[in-house]
């Protein structure tokens, strides 16, 4: 049914093929798309690009994800978001991979170099994060989350590490990343756990415990990765 995709921008290739089938009427409104695992086999790819593509299609108004049932094709909206509005965004899976590789070391450096002012900034962002959790304000939570990790990068007082952290922060503020993360935040146990993990990372920076901080950041990002892509 679908053609195998190339590696570059895999999720966009997946989204574009499914989108074309919907627009051409080959998949009709009300029909259920195959499960993620089956789609991954059809496209010859792994599940993360499939999940990214389905999230992109949902943002475009072409499909609806129903918990416990699957992904349903909707009536094509008159003002569907064009694919090119999403085409410039980073792959959330690649953002996650970069975070796992880089952020533990950035956090270790921040533990050694953070000033009292840096720690105060982190404390204030953490307060926003907790408030967003209490209010179930997912947009504010995503914003505070990106701000928290960027503030850690700034606390390294290394301009190059800050620029790397800034690039990651940009990826975390894009629509596709936030759509996937918000789906995870809506699970009460997840958002509560993420807040506790941020609190523990903050305390490690206060205590100058670089090794523990790096380990906690890695574990935190890995847990988000599992929630979003597993």
Provide the residue range defining the domain that includes 172.
92-229
- pLDDT, mean of residues 64-69: 83
Residue-wise pLDDT for 96-146, tens only, equals: 999 999 999 999 999 999 999 999 999 999 999 999 999 999 999 999 999
What does the pLDDT read at residue 82?
67
Both 117 and 169 in a single domain? yes
Q: Is the pLDDT of residue 12 over 90?
A: no
- Both 36 and 138 in one domain: the answer is no
Same domain assignment for residues 57 and 124: no
C-alpha closest to that of 91 among 34, 43, 32, 46? 46
Q: What pLDDT does 110 receive?
A: 98
Looking at the fold, whether 55 and 139 belong to one and the same domain comes out as: no
- Asked, for residue 175, whether it belongs to a domain, the answer is yes
Length of the chain: 230
Residues 106, 186 within the same domain: yes
- The CATH number given to whatever domain includes residue 184 is 1.20.120.530
Question: For residue 155, what pLDDT is reported?
Answer: 98
Q: Are residues 65 and 133 in the same domain?
A: no
pLDDT band at 6 (very low <50, low <70, confident <90, very high): low
Q: Based on DSSP, count helices (H) and strands (E) in the chain, helices before strands.
A: 11, 2
For residue range 76-109, what is the model confidence (pLDDT) as tens digits? 876 666 666 677 788 899 999 999 999 999 999 9
Question: Which letter does DSSP use for residue 187 in this model?
Answer: S
Identify the pLDDT of residue 4.
64
Burial 119-143 (b: 16+ CB within 10 A, else e): bebbeebbebbeebbeeeebeebbb
Helix (H) or strand (E) holding 105: helix 92-113
- 208 and 96 in a common domain: yes
Same domain for 141 and 214, yes or no, is yes
The whole-number average pLDDT for the span 59-70 is 86
- What's the token pair of residue 119? 């720690």
CATH number at residue 66: 1.10.10.10
User: Last residue of a domain, which of 69, 85, 101?
Assistant: 85
43 within 8 A of 14, measured Cβ to Cβ: yes
What letter does residue 34 receive in the DSSP assignment?
P
Domain closes at, from 85, 107, 134: 85
171 and 128 in a single domain? The answer is yes
**Claim to verify: residue 56 and residue 139 sit in the same structural domain:** no
Do 33 and 105 belong together in one domain? no
Domain boundary among 85, 105, 135: 85
Domain tally, the chain: 2
In this prediction, residues 180-190 reach a mean pLDDT of 93
5 within some domain: no
Concatenating the DSSP letter of every residue in 199-213 gives: HHHHHHHHHT-HHHH
Q: What pTM does this model have? A: 0.81
């Amino acid at each position: 049914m679908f053609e195998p995709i190339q590696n570059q921008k895999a999720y966009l290739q997946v989204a574009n093929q499914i989108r074309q089938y919907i627009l051409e009427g080959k998949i009709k409104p009300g029909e259920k798309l195959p499960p993620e695992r089956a789609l991954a086999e059809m496209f010859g790819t792994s599940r993360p690009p499939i999940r990214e593509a389905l999230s992109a299609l949902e943002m475009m108004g072409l499909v609806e994800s129903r918990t416990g049932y699957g992904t349903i094709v909707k009536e094509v909206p008159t003002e569907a978001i064009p694919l090119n509005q999403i085409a410039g965004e980073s792959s959330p899976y690649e953002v996650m991979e970069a975070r796992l590789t880089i952020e533990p070391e950035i956090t270790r450096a921040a533990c050694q170099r953070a000033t009292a002012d840096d720690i105060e900034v982190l404390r204030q962002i953490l307060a926003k994060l907790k408030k967003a959790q209490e209010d179930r304000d997912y947009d504010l939570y995503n914003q505070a989350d990106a701000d928290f990790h960027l503030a850690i990068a700034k606390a390294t007082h290394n301009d190059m590490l800050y620029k790397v952290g800034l690039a990651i922060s940009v990826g975390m503020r894009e629509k596709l990343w936030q759509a996937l993360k918000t789906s995870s935040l809506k699970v009460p146990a997840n958002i509560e756990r993420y807040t506790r993990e941020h609190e523990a990372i903050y305390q490690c920076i206060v205590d100058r415990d670089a090794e523990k901080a790096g380990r906690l950041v890695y574990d935190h990002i890995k847990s988000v990765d599992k929630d979003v892509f597993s």
